[in-house]
Structure 1
Amino acid sequence: MTMKEMPVRRPLPVGVSDYQDACTHYYYVDKTLLIRDLLDERAKVSLFTRPRRFGKTLNMDMLRIFFEKNDSDTSVYFKDKKIWFCGSFYREHQGKYPVIFLSFKDVKYASWEETYQALRKLITLEFRRHGELLSSTLLSSYEKEDFSRLATETASEIDYQMSLRTLTLLLHKHHGTAPLVIIDEYDTPIQQGHMNGFYDRVIGFMRNLFSGGLKDNPHLSYGFLTGILRVAKESIFSGLNNLKINSILDERYSEYFGFTSEEVRAMAEYYRASDKYQELCDWYDGYRFGNTDIFNPWSVIGYFNNNCRPKAFWQSTGNNDIIREVLALATPDIMERLELLMKGGSFVTHIDTGVIYPQIQKEPSSVYSFLLVAGYLKAVNADQPYGEDYMCEVALPNKEISFVYSKEILSQMEAVIPRSEAIAIQEAIYKVDIQALQKALENFLLQTISFHDAANETFYHGLILGMCAIMDNSYRITSNREAGEGRFDIQMLPLNKKLPGILIELKAGKNCSEAQLKALAQTALQQITDRSYTADFSAENLTSAIKMGIAFSGKRTRIAAEQINLV
């Protein structure tokens, strides 16, 4: 095929959340059957809780374009999509409803005053989008006055709390059809309130806003909301008995947020990267919503856009305040479990999908519920033995999330381990400078031992996680795995085969002299050789490796190291 005959491939929708733009100009993964399922279920109000960047905003905009009455023919955006071939019943709903659409995804402010100003502005702009109400012959002068105050930011806070109720009534009266209310990322201002000390203020505002618009409202056809958490226990949806919650553990709608394996395979084939499918799985698969295996869509798109070079794309899409707070408040038991996760392990824990932000401080065990619903854990399997809560086996989803943990753990340890020490270790490894590496590691370990006050199991945990963090995106860390003729302590497998593999054996003694400590480090080093722990490195076709024996005694440490060639 000549260059002239080469097919032109659509660009990737990096950061595109406008449905019309996405399906017209970019590669679009068809999620329109979400519309079919919503109309089949006919839940009055539906809440979808999913991690950030899993397609919530794009899907909500798709619903808006499909259902909203418009002067132009918007059916053109659906005639080649799956929903159009489902039958006339579904097509008859296209373009038939007035729609109220609010997205709170960018309401991220440090004070209630700024947050309220942003919420008021968003509501005002939505009123202005329905300017046809000002000239309506079906509305009274009083109703038009109410509309004008809310459209010109001259209304009171109570008026804004009741604004959804007001706008649904006016739209119903004018159009003769009750509107849809779509609220995207409803809990973003609530998370900001939790992090910045105005949680009660924002909860009070949201409770009244949603109750007015969604609870027992005769002027509402359907309501659709998205968020990360469902924020139910403090009654933000007080008395809303028509609310259908769809969490990541529910089977219904499980395939509509994120990419399925079939969708990723098709995308890889389209961009001539079918041979990269396994790498995509390793890095961005691993989520399980209901009964569906799901890839992180943001990261899959980023991967193809980065010439199929893997990175932790999701990490840079927003702050990781939730995991940061988890680490800051973690008990020894939680830290031990985080170590298990970093080593590729899993554990069973209680999961409450209705977890709320204040619980993270009052109930340390709630951290796993937060991490699961926010996308930092996956449910390997889930059982619902009682009520609405689950018992889940949880693990890290993929390599990308491992690096998110590493990055945040490093930021937590910076008060203990200066960034300069981390850089010195990285530089020594990249240059394969054994003497510089010994010196940098000893400095690192001496500071860490001092912080933990003893070379015990808690310290070993800190060492493993600290090494994970320091090596950032360069190594995959495993611990206590079988290799050769035994079980190594720590293995660092480079993602770039030009870097050396690293094996670490740990030994601890009591009241050792300097000579005894050095001998203990040499014993640890010799064990790596005697038991052929580097066998995995040869199988991975690495060219070199660094073996390190690390000995501890109280707050002192010594390292014996050796570089070997594997080819």
Structure 2
Amino acid sequence: MARPIGIGKQDFEKIILAKSFYVDKTMFIKEWWENQDDVTLLTRPRRFGKTLTMNMVEKFFSVEYAGRGDLFGGLSIWQEEKYRKLQGTYPVISLSFANIKQRDCKSSIQRTCQLLTDLYRKNSFLLKGDLLSEKEKEEYSKISMDMPEIVAGMAVHKMSEYLFRYYGKKVIILLDEYDTPLQEAYVHGYWEELVGFTRDLFSATFKTNPYLESAVMTGITRVSKESIFSDLNNLEVVTITSEKYQDCFGFTQQEVSDALKEYGLADKEEEVRAWYDGFTFGNQTDIYNPWSIINYLDKRIFNTYWANTSSNGLVGKLIREGSTNMKMVMEDLLKGGSLHTYVDEQIVFNRLDSRESAVWSLMLASGYLKMERFIQNEKRGKHGYDLVLTNQEVRIMFEQMIEEWFSEATPAYNDFIRALLKGDIKSMNGYMNKVALDTISYFDTGKRPSETAEPEKFYHGFVLGLIVDLADRYTVTSNRESGFGRYDVVLEPCRREDDAMILEFKVHDPEEEGTLADTVKSALVQIEEMQYAADLKARGIAPERIRKYGFAFEGKKILIEKG
């Protein structure tokens, strides 16, 4: 009989006692312990079992769970006699930054202080007797939500000392989702404010802490050393390209095959592979996202389970507000193409606005892109990758995200699409002006708005919308060679009864064109002179079945005419 699934359970003890579905990852304990690294930073995409693994490590080592070998009986780690003796023998400090998602720096630091206060309250037994001096007890009582930053920065360090004195053993520190507040700080514009506090906290906790036995930090990204880890020279960083722990997070192909057999779904293996396979950690290919697999086993319906569990906001913002080139790359990726780029696994958040490679690196670390090919360049010290969208689930997620860009900003977008398909030029003009008015600034960062740049960013965001919304009826391409030049947008019909379309966009230049009407005529002339219809005709589409539209921009005003 198949085990109950238990959706959303991240408490190792609950899963084991309830005999819920669980893929044995306990050998992570042995691998980590035997590596003997002081501080290990493990980066994996969200929903890859990081929190459950940290909870498992806590339950294994913590003195609070001494004698709880029943939780590990029958699992791989319990077959190792040496590790049976280690169970429940260390003081453990376990913290999670997963819920520090505040919109300003002060609130973020206060939320961190609240977690530290909870830690001190949990260990209030230390105040009994004479383990602590009167002065230390006084300092202990000052740990609060509103404590000064300098006190908060030393809080974990001091707790490590107190626990060491009580148990006579150095502590194990577990910090889950360490980068969540940093990502929120970037999104809400207080990155520089938070960095100093975080650097001081991490330095006191993980470097200048003589009471530390070993530590594990988990997160999605490897934040640049210069930002918050500049003082940590004892940090072992394990990213998705590292071979360490490569099969400890996510499900392998064999683990997925076994699960599908257990639930009578073995005949669905190829569909499951298309939807959810594609992640690679180190040399381990064919890694699956656990959240999607568990939900599929439970519901038996293919859906975007992982992609719909929030946290897509940062990536969506970066693409929506990104450069023309970034949107063009997304066009290719959505149509099955690849991106060749250098990847720096140290994410520099304050460079995400200016370096496209930093965005692609973030998307790789977050699981939205996967490595298809690796090219090492030893001379330059950089590593090149061919990247593609990870799987069908991710592609659908991006399609839904792009649809939301327009549905959130303006209801006129869908009306424009309907008018475009009908060839209703009057309605196209009316709706397109409404769309542009509502959304042009939506596609710009607002930091360096530009009359010239805004229409171009809007146009490429608009093209992504066409690719998604017309996918069932048209193949949409942009900025490709045809005839004697590069057209802006071509819509090639998938059905014989539909017309092909060529869309040419031009920004009004008052030095060359007197009116917006002159600009749109120039766009239509360009379509003819550069023979942009050549490829469509070569594919057998009759000239009378090719519609040609000129789009002229002047600020947020648009004029459309048909050629």
- Identify the TM-score tier after normalising by the shorter chain: 0.7 to 0.9
Pair 96,549 (structure 1): closer, same or farther in 2 beyond 3 Å: farther
- Pair 1:207 & 2:199 matched: yes
Hey, what's the Cα distance between the residues in 1 that align with 2:226 and 2:114?
A: 26
Deviations 1:380-416 (A, max 9, x none): 133443487521111101111112222333344458x
Hey, what's the Cα distance between the residues in 1 that align with 2:345 and 2:491?
A: 35
Hey, what's the Cα distance between the residues in 1 that align with 2:538 and 2:411?
A: 32
Q: Which residue of 2 aligns with 1:304?
A: 297
User: What's the Cα RMSD here?
Assistant: 3.9
Q: Which residue of 2 aligns with 1:66?
A: 60
Hey, what's the Cα distance between the residues in 1 that align with 2:23 and 2:318?
A: 34
Tell me whether 21-30 or 244-253 shows the greater mean CA deviation: 21-30
Matched pairs, number: 506
Pair 154,437 (structure 1): closer, same or farther in 2 beyond 3 Å: closer
- Pair 1:438 & 2:422 matched: yes
- Pair 1:43 & 2:47 matched: no
Aligned pairs for 1:332-481 (under 5 A) are 332-386=324-378, 389-413=382-406, 418-422=410-414, 438=422, 465-470=464-469
Q: Is the 8 A contact 1:409 1:465 kept in 2?
A: yes
Q: Which residue of 2 aligns with 1:143?
A: 136
One-letter code aligned to 2:361 = S
Q: Which residue of 1 aligns with 2:4?
A: 11
Hey, what's the Cα distance between the residues in 2 that align with 1:155 and 1:277?
A: 54
Aligned pairs for 1:102-141 (under 5 A) are 102-135=95-128, 137-141=130-134
One-letter code aligned to 1:38 = W
Hey, what's the Cα distance between the residues in 2 that align with 1:502 and 1:83?
A: 64
Q: Is the 8 A contact 1:171 1:179 kept in 2?
A: yes
Pair 458,154 (structure 1): closer, same or farther in 2 beyond 3 Å: closer
Q: Which residue of 1 aligns with 2:549?
A: 552
How far is 1:316 from its partner?
Answer: 2.5
- Pair 1:168 & 2:160 matched: yes
Deviations 1:14-41 (A, max 9, x none): 2211111123322111111111110121
The structure 2 residue matched to 1:223, chosen from 215, 223, 228, is 215
Q: Secondary structure at the match of 2:307?
A: helix
How far is 1:468 from its partner?
Answer: 4.0
One-letter code aligned to 2:295 = G
Hey, what's the Cα distance between the residues in 1 that align with 2:185 and 2:294?
A: 31
The structure 2 residue matched to 1:198, chosen from 157, 181, 190, is 190
How far is 1:522 from its partner?
Answer: 12
Hey, what's the Cα distance between the residues in 1 that align with 2:401 and 2:93?
A: 38
Q: Which residue of 1 aligns with 2:511?
A: none
Pair 72,158 (structure 1): closer, same or farther in 2 beyond 3 Å: same
Q: Secondary structure at the match of 1:245?
A: strand
Q: Secondary structure at the match of 2:23?
A: coil
- Pair 1:84 & 2:83 matched: no
| TM-score for both structures, normalised by structure 2 | 0.79
* Structure 1: gaps spanning 5 or more residues: 1-6, 429-434, 481-488, 494-499, 532-547, 560-567
How far is 1:344 from its partner?
Answer: 0.5
Pair 141,251 (structure 1): closer, same or farther in 2 beyond 3 Å: same
Aligned pairs for 1:242-257 (under 5 A) are 242-257=234-249
One-letter code aligned to 2:422 = Q
Deviations 1:460-509 (A, max 9, x none): 965652134436xx9698667xxxxxxxx76899xxxxxx9998744469
How far is 1:304 from its partner?
Answer: 2.5
Q: Is the 8 A contact 2:334 2:395 kept in 1?
A: yes
Q: Is the 8 A contact 2:66 2:89 kept in 1?
A: no
The structure 2 residue matched to 1:260, chosen from 244, 252, 266, is 252
- Pair 1:178 & 2:162 matched: no
Q: Is the 8 A contact 2:492 2:536 kept in 1?
A: no
Q: Which residue of 2 aligns with 1:483?
A: none
Q: Which residue of 1 aligns with 2:26?
A: 32
Pair 157,403 (structure 1): closer, same or farther in 2 beyond 3 Å: same
